[in-house]
Chains A and B, each alone.
Chain A
């Protein structure tokens, strides 16, 4: 099993850090020294319980304010799987961190405070999870201990959330509701006795049971060339290998391929992984490929199967999440990094802004502020080879770089 990356989303005080701390505690992933530090600090602060959030909030400012500012990565493993949790902040102004955390995750947990129910923030969290097409989403209804483990409360929240689900774009997303108490440990790692009416699995059990097909999308193979390997040694005098990562599907020796943008045809001769040769390179493996013909291929080119071409175009429309305090406006130029390929792009028009609370769209928008999500059309200085995000998570996404200060200022999902 590959590593399972999980994004978490919840508002301030929904108990996200506590939930993660509880998972670590109950899976015995907290080492004695870390546990002692948590006990010590909890006591100093006069709490009568262990503050598990102390296990994750890493920056001084976070501990001072008792909130999570930046994405933290937390690692634990069970006998069955290795997990990475991206602990993403719940504040409205930190939407960019949530998009970031979700972009590398295959599953996600949305937290809801049982006392508050579905709030505006929940809409946003679900919207982003759906926009990023996370295949498996758990809605964890937390703090059940504070509502007397009431089935009614749980059902009400489930019904409210189901209304959101009807509005989502990505309908195949699998959603599971689990009532939990992170503080008390109910239905987190162990099934709770306090809620006999709940017949489903505890949270961790649900994650343990996820299979490859539950979390990964299979698409068409794309091989963006990262680096050209030319040893120029006696043993490998004429060796010309193309190093890169295989995305979407497998590539095999003998496959008829086309190199983009030159559209030169060839066949895969060998697939190397270090000093071993393989018949097939499976998705997400970092291999080096050689071709039958001696053709000119460089970084940023893409090797694809002959009958499976992506769109090759100098313009595209995408949903973007804007992450910079400086506004995005029509006519402005940015660098688009699409995989390992970089091109210059100009904002042609902002089609509309999307309200991430599912309340619709706004037209006649003149600029985008930080955390805005909008449909934007870009014109490029040279063609890129892309797929729609809904068909290909990797080849359908890009980042925007501000050419003036080199910062990553936005993320895009091609429509």
Chain B
């Protein structure tokens, strides 16, 4: 039985309303694009919100240098097809400038380093609103996030002093130097995003679908053994498995899941029956129970 999609329509209407508020209330908005399904969904919503006019803000990708190659190819094709403006800023540059230090060891990841590059880029372009694809169902700290979330000069999130959001009214008033993180798909769940991708027939990178990949196992999770980005001990054996990725972040913190879902409808089915949460495959959240809250206070997206 196909589920009634009218609740997705109401989520879509809400998100389009938020996109338009951003364009109207801010001078220099930007859409933070990671190449993942959530930010691809945001692009679709932005295109629909302003049709027949063009999307009135650029996309920005904070490239960790550890992205899946499929994601980058996809990104470049998407902006070309839709005629969008794309800004790329590299974590490697922040490392070269000595602003951040590369982590080392088994669990080394560039995920945390992104924050510095992001904050620098916000300052460079004087962005006053950054649209992101975070959802409240992802994680406990994100469940408390506002749709318009004010960040201070240091990009920090003051979780105990958030502006109340009433009815549909979004208060985007800020002082110079502050910026607002905007989350149009706050109220969507992972399944909602996938159902929307299916309904709208949105193209997504191939790594979201089941494919053969060289992987190795660690801590009960499946890691990509291709491209040499993820640190692997010699005794960690390389296997070939049918896998797909549920989230597409930095390769070094994104684990794969076993899957034979080769189409969107199969993926939707798989997620509906899944008993593991989406971020269960994100090692960055496993560092401590409050991992996300801490990163958000520091300005993480």
Binding site for B on A (CB under 8 A): 1-3, 31-34, 37, 56-61, 63, 69-75, 77, 79, 81-82, 84, 96-97, 99-100, 103-104, 226-227, 229-233, 235-236, 239, 241, 243-245, 272-275, 284-286, 288, 299, 323, 335, 337, 339-340, 393-394, 397-399, 401, 406-408, 411
Interface residues contributed by chain B, number (CB under 8 Å)? 59
Given A2-B6, A103-B166, A286-B13: A227 and B136 interface contact (C-beta under 8 Å): no
Give bound CA distance, A406 to B179, whole Å.
13
Binds A, one of B16-24, B90-98, B102-110, B229-237: B16-24
B287 at interface by CB-CB < 8 Å: no
Residue among A56, A230, A394, A406 making CB contact with B168, cutoff 8 Å: A394
Name the B residues within 8 Å of A399 (CB-CB).
166, 169, 171
**Chain A residues whose CB sits within 8 angstroms of the CB of B125 once the complex forms:** none
B88 at interface, CB cutoff 8 A: no
Residues from chain B with Cβ under 8 Å of A63 in the complex: 289
Residues from chain A with a CB closer than 8 A to the CB of B20 are 226-227, 243-244, 286
Interfacial chain B residues near A239, Cβ < 8 Å = 52
Cα distance A274–B44 in the bound complex, in angstroms:
10
A245→B52 CA distance, assembly (Å)? 17
A215 smallest CB distance to B (angstroms): 13
Q: Is the CB of A339 within 8 A of B169?
A: yes
Contact B276 A286 (CB under 8 A): no
Query: B153-185 interface mask toward A, CB cutoff 8 Å, 1 = contact, 0 = none?
Result: 000000110111111110101110000000000
Decide if B10 touches A58 in the complex (CB within 8 Å): no
Closest residue of chain B to A300, judged by CB?
B24
Determine the residue in chain B with the shortest Cβ distance to A34: B277
Does B189 contact A229, Cβ atoms closer than 8 Å?
Answer: no
A339 contacts which chain B residues (CB < 8 A)? Answer: 168-169
Q: Can you identify 17 A-B contacts, CB atoms within 8 angstroms? A: A3-B10, A31-B276, A32-B275, A58-B141, A70-B159, A79-B3, A104-B166, A227-B50, A231-B54, A245-B17, A286-B20, A323-B164, A339-B169, A393-B167, A399-B169, A399-B171, A408-B164
Other 19 A-B pairs with CB < 8 A, given A286-B20, A288-B51: A34-B277, A57-B140, A58-B140, A70-B144, A73-B136, A77-B189, A82-B189, A99-B164, A236-B53, A239-B52, A243-B50, A244-B20, A274-B47, A284-B13, A286-B16, A286-B49, A299-B24, A394-B167, A408-B165
Task: Assess whether B280 is interfacial by the CB under 8 Å rule.
Answer: yes
**Contacting pair A3 B144 (CB below 8 A):** no
B 222-267 contacts with A by CB, 8 A: none
**Counting CB contacts under 8 A, is B219 at the interface?**
no
Q: Does B67 contact A (CB under 8 A)?
A: no
| Contact B187–A60 (Cβ < 8 Å) | no
Whether A72 contacts B54 by the Cβ 8 Å rule is no
| A227 CB, min distance to chain B CBs, angstroms | 4
Contact flag A60-B276 (CB < 8 Å), given A230-B53, A243-B49, A401-B171 = no
Nearest CB on A from B211, distance (A): 24
- State in angstroms the CA–CA spacing of A365 and B300 once bound together: 45
Question: A33, A275, A286: which contacts B17 (Cβ < 8 A)?
Answer: A286
With a cutoff of 8 Å between Cβ atoms, the chain A residues found around residue B53 in the complex are 229-233, 236
- Cβ of B23 and Cβ of A284 under 8 Å apart? no
Type the 1/0 row for B41-66, where 1 means its CB is closer than 8 Å to any CB of A: 00000011111111000000000000
Residues in B whose Cβ lies below 8 Å from that of A274: 47-48, 51
Given contact pairs A58-B293, A245-B17, A335-B173, A3 touches B167 in the complex (Cβ within 8 A):
no
Contact between chains at A401 and B173 (CB < 8 Å): yes
Cβ of B7 under 8 Å from chain A: yes
Q: Name which residue of chain A comes closest to B16, CB basis.
A: A286
CB distance from A77 to the nearest CB of B (A): 7
B124 within 8 A of A: no
CB–CB B167/A104 < 8 A: yes
Instruction: Knowing A231-B52, A284-B10, say if A58 contacts B144 (CB, 8 Å).
Output: yes
Taking CB atoms, residues of chain B closer than 8 Å to A84 are 187
Which B residues lie within 8 Å of A58 (CB)?
139-144, 293
Q: Which residues of A contact B13 (CB under 8 A)?
A: 245, 284-286
The binding surface of chain B is classed by DSSP as: loop
CB closest residue in chain B, given A284? B13
Our pick among A2, A227, A286 for the contact of B7 (Cβ within 8 Å) is A2
Give the chain A neighbours of B164 by CB distance below 8 A.
96-97, 99-100, 323, 408, 411
Q: Decide: A226 and B17 in contact? CB cutoff 8 A.
A: yes
* Contact call A229/B144, Cβ cutoff below 8 A: no
Query: Which residues of B sit under 8 angstroms from A82, Cβ to Cβ?
Result: 7, 189, 192
Contact: B144 with A59, CB < 8 Å? yes
CA distance A96 to B162 in the complex (A): 11
- Cα(A241)–Cα(B20), bound, Å: 13
Q: Are A411 and B166 in contact (CB under 8 A)?
A: yes
Contact status B160-A61, CB under 8 Å: yes
Given A226-B21, A275-B51, is A3 in contact with B166 using a C-beta cutoff of 8 Å?
Answer: no
Nearest B residue to A58 via CB reads: B140
**Of B3, B142, B166, which one neighbours A99 at CB under 8 angstroms?**
B166
- Would A340 and B6 count as touching, CB distance under 8 A? no
Contact: B6 with A1, CB < 8 Å?
Answer: yes
Residues of A within 8 A of B201 (CB): none
* A399 CA to B34 CA, complexed, in Å: 34
Rounded to whole angstroms, the CA-CA distance of A245 and B7 in the bound complex is 16
Please name the residue on chain B nearest to A2 by beta carbon. Answer: B10
In the complex, are the beta carbons of B136 and A31 less than 8 A apart? no
